[in-house]
């Protein structure tokens, strides 16, 4: 059957295109501009070619920050995904308690990032913070301002506190969609608790888990505000993640060229890793279908 | 394998049931004999599934006891009861192959690999899925999945009973007939107690030796298909079994005659005085349409292929009659009832003739 071809409807997308152009594409172009040029102000630009990119690719400072960033995201995922699943499995399924737990779980997600940072910054202080002071009173040597390991632990625990809810809530939604008959059939088949998880719950949660992993990876890879407020990237450079380093470079040292080149590569890395996650996880799915 | 006894059983989904209406299952005593093939028939929401889940232990009854043989299993977990159950909608383990799905109940019970392999071959042949054994279950069609569910239900040989909860809902008609035949031959071969829940009377009547009809949380009658047809114990059975269902008329019964408005109908037997709402019931199959008997008004005639159904009115009450092929509706239509086939009901329950008192 021949359909009348009329693509005029595409014009309806125009307003959105304009909005996106002004809010995202054009600002990004200024970054591109800085990445390939050098400037001494006065809106005068000198062509720099790939120089800034070469600088950045070979910079030890960036390599270290990237290493810390990957380690941070890996730790975050390794804790938050299993913990989120575990919490989701143990949340009440219906009734008053289900609503209450849902609200409590959602609370950390509603707190602005810099407030989360401030909460933990104060919470962990040895002089006045409940956590820091209590630990000190118990004789545990804890000080996130001068011990790199303590700083890491603080930042990781803070992120777990802030974001595990997201994974848990997504998994909870996945679990709620499993019909009761599956659990009944599993009982009839004398399946163990582990089998129920492995063969019923996990396969049904896979879709939401993919989203959870992607979101958590992207967010943790871009993390800025919370560690900046708590540790400011220190002690030394021990918690200087990519975004913190980038901000230091761009607004602290005013090295706009290298910072712009860094931003573009940073963006591409996130895009690339997210794409790899997505492709691997959807391909696993397809293979199973055969 | 053992006989299953439900003693003084009732169930409500409310924690504190106030009235009779709060009970999904009204108080009942019932015995399922070892090795019987039962169909549990009733309209949607009459408590069939609840009853099944109580037998398999998925639901704990609010009152009464469940016995397997002499053992009280009321508080026993599903896993201890050794029951197989197939649900209305397919339940398969998505990430497993068909073979792994079928092996799952056996493997969980620690059977040895050789036995499992042999058993799976038998079951696969039975459900016609030998060619698909190594496919992942999730990519299959709904009826293939349901066949896997059925296969998983039948794979264990030592079960106390196999419960089917409307298992053929998603299967296409041709396959339905074939699978039902398979279930039937499986029953003959192994003699498992089978309880088959359905709301489809054809399915019930072809599968079972004994049909249990439920209505509004009660078992209203258990009997052979013939008993259900000839002597329904409750007006619901009369109406639910048969197509169209039994004709019911409000009437006054005295002795061996019933009075419907202005006309007399012979009952074929004498009845004592009745209390409550009195009705007489007669199957459309036993209504003869001719120029003799009581006058009726014919509303319409439906051709259903092998025969025709005449929708008529008798003394203001609706009446169905079956007209064999080739017969015609007379110009002055009158009906007569086969005398021995008329049943009498008081408050919906069948009344036995003479001094035998209330039926059912």
Contacts of A171 (CB under 8 A, 6+ apart): A84, A85, A87, A88, A89, A205, A208, A209, A212
Residue closest to B330 by CA, chosen among B287, B284, B296, B305 = B296
The rounded distance, in Å, linking the Cα atoms of B39 and B220 is: 13
| CA-angle at A23, arms to A18 and A28, nearest 5° | 110
Residues of chain B with pLDDT under 70: 1, 355-360
* Cβ within 8 Å, pair A289-B139: yes
Report the distance separating Cα B353 and Cα A129, nearest Å: 90
Contact A289 B104 (CB under 8 A): no
Q: How many CB pairs under 8 A join A and B?
A: 62
For residue A172, the enclosing domain spans: 59-254
How far is A89 from chain B, CA to nearest CA, in Å?
19
Nearest CA in chain A to B154: A189
Q: Measured between CB atoms, does A31 come within 8 Å of chain B?
A: no
- B91 and A181 within 8 Å at the Cβ level: the answer is yes
ipTM of predicted assembly, 2 dp: 0.77
Residue B57: its chain A contacts at CB < 8 A? 187
Token pair listed for A82: 């299993």
**Contact assessment for residue A265 and residue A242, using Cβ atoms and an 8 Å cutoff:** no
In a domain, A267, yes or no: no
Task: Specify if A24 maps to a domain.
Answer: no
A270 is a domain residue: no
Q: Which residues pair with B246 in a beta bridge?
A: none
Tell me whether A195 touches chain B (CB under 8 Å). yes
CB B38 within 8 A of CB B32: yes
Q: What domains are defined for chain B?
A: 4-239 (3.40.50.300), 244-351 (2.40.50.140)
Partners of residue A255 on adjacent β-strands: none
Query: DSSP assignment, residue A50?
Result: T
Specify if A2 maps to a domain: no
Is A229 within the bounds of a domain?
yes
Q: Which two tokens stand for residue A63?
A: 């390599």
Residue A23 falls inside a structural domain: no
Contacts A203 to B, Cβ<8 Å: 93-95, 138
Task: Identify the pLDDT of residue B259.
Answer: 85
Q: How many residues does chain B have?
A: 360
Residue-wise pLDDT for A205-229, tens only, equals 888 888 899 899 988 988 888 888 8
Q: Which of A190, A203, A290 sits opposite B108 (nearest CB)?
A: A190
- So what's the pLDDT on residue A100? 93
Asked whether B219 and B228 are in contact (CB, 8 A), the reply is no
> Which among B78, B66, B57 has a CA at the least distance from the CA of B10?
B66
pLDDT on residue A3: 67
Provide the total of helices (H) and of strands (E) in chain A, helices listed first. Answer: 14, 2
Estimate to the nearest angstrom the gap between the alpha carbon of A290 and the chain centroid. 33
Q: Is A112 an interface residue toward B (CB < 8 Å)?
A: no
Interface contact flag, B139 A290, Cβ < 8 Å: yes
Burial (0-12, 13-18, 19+ Cβ within 10 Å), B184: middle
CATH number of domain containing A88 = 1.10.3720.10
How far is B168 from chain A, CA to nearest CA, in Å? 16
Residue of B nearest to A191 (CA): B108
Q: What is the pLDDT along chain A (290 residues), one digit of tens a residue?
A: 566 777 888 889 999 999 998 898 888 888 888 888 887 777 777 787 787 888 778 888 888 888 999 999 999 999 999 999 999 999 998 889 999 999 999 999 999 988 999 999 899 888 888 988 898 888 888 888 888 898 999 999 999 999 999 999 999 999 998 988 899 899 888 888 999 998 999 988 888 888 899 899 988 988 888 888 888 887 888 888 888 888 888 888 778 888 888 888 888 888 898 888 888 877 776 665 54
Which of A187, A191, A199 lies at the smallest CB-CB distance from B58? A187
Cβ contact A191–B136 (<8 Å): no
In a domain, A19, yes or no: no
Residues in B lying within 8 Å of A, measured between beta carbons: 53, 56-58, 77-79, 83-85, 87-89, 91, 93-96, 104-105, 108-109, 136, 138-139, 149, 152-153
**Residue A224: inside a domain, yes or no?**
yes
CB contact under 8 A, B84 and A187: no
Chain A segment 174-193 residues within 8 A of B by beta carbon are 179, 181-182, 184-185, 187-192
Is the Cβ pair A288, B95 closer than 8 Å?
yes
> Structurally, how many domains does chain A consist of?
1
Task: Find the Cα–Cα–Cα–Cα dihedral A253, A257, A259, A265, rounded to 10°.
Answer: -170
């Amino acid at each position: 059957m021949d359909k009348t071809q009329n693509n005029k409807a595409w014009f309806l997308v125009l307003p959105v295109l304009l909005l996106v152009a002004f809010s995202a594409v054009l600002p990004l172009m200024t970054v591109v501009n800085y990445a390939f040029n050098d400037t001494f102000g006065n809106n005068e630009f000198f062509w720099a070619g790939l120089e800034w990119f070469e600088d950045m690719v070979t910079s030890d400072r960036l390599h270290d920050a990237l290493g810390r960033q990957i380690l941070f995201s890996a730790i975050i995922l390794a804790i938050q995904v299993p913990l989120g699943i575990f919490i989701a499995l143990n949340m009440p399924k219906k009734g008053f308690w289900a609503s209450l737990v849902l609200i409590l779980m959602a609370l950390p997600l509603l707190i602005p990032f810099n407030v989360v940072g401030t909460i933990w910054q104060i919470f962990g202080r040895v002089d006045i913070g409940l956590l820091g002071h209590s630990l000190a009173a118990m004789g545990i040597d804890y000080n996130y301002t001068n011990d790199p390991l303590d700083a890491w632990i603080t930042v990781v625990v803070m992120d777990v506190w802030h974001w595990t809810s997201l994974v848990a809530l997504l998994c909870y939604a996945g679990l709620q969609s499993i019909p009761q008959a599956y659990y009944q059939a599993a009982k009839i088949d004398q399946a163990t608790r582990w089998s129920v998880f492995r063969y019923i719950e996990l396969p049904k949660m896979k879709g939401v888990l993919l989203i959870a992993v992607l979101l958590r990876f992207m967010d943790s890879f871009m993390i800025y505000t919370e560690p900046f407020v708590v540790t400011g990237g220190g002690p030394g450079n021990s918690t200087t993640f990519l975004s913190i380093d980038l901000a230091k470079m761009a607004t602290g040292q005013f090295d706009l060229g290298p910072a712009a080149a860094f931003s573009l590569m940073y963006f591409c890395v996130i895009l690339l890793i997210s794409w790899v996650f997505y492709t691997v996880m959807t391909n696993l799915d397809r293979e199973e279908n055969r | 394998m053992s006989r299953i006894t439900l003693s003084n059983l009732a169930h409500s989904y409310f924690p504190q049931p106030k009235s009779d209406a709060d009970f999904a299952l009204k108080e009942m005593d019932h015995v399922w004999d070892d090795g019987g093939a039962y169909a549990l028939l009733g309209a949607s929401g009459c408590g069939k599934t609840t009853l099944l889940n109580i037998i398999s232990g998925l639901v704990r009854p609010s009152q009464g006891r469940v016995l397997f043989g002499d053992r009280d299993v009321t508080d026993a977990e599903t896993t201890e009861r050794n029951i197989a159950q197939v649900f209305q909608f397919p339940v398969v383990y998505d990430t497993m192959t068909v073979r792994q799905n079928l092996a799952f109940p056996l493997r969980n019970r620690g059977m040895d690999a050789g036995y499992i392999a042999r058993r799976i071959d038998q079951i696969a042949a039975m459900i016609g899925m030998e060619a698909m054994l190594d496919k992942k279950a999730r990519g299959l069609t709904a009826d293939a999945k349901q066949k896997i569910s059925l296969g998983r239900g039948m794979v264990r040989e030592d079960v106390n009973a196999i419960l089917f909860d409307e298992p053929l809902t998603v299967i296409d008609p041709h396959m339905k007939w074939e699978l039902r035949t398979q279930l039937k031959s499986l029953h003959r071969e192994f003699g498992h107690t089978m309880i088959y829940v359905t709301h489809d009377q054809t399915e019930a009547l072809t599968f079972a030796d004994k049909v249990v009809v439920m209505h509004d949380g009660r078992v209203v009658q258990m009997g052979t298909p013939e008993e259900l047809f000839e002597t329904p114990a409750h007006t619901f059975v009369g109406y639910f079994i048969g197509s169209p269902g039994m004709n019911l008329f409000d009437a006054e019964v005295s002795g061996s005659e019933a009075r419907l408005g202005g006309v007399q109908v012979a009952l074929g037997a004498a009845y004592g005085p009745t209390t409550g709402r009195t009705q007489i019931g007669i199957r459309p199959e036993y209504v003869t349409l001719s120029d003799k008997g009581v006058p009726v008004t014919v509303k319409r005639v439906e051709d259903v292929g092998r025969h025709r159904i005449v929708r008529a009115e008798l003394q203001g009450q609706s009446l169905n009659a079956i007209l064999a092929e080739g017969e015609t509706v007379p110009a002055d239509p009158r009906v007569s009832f086969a005398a021995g086939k008329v049943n009498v009901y008081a408050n919906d329950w069948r009344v036995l003739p003479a001094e035998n008192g209330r039926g059912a």
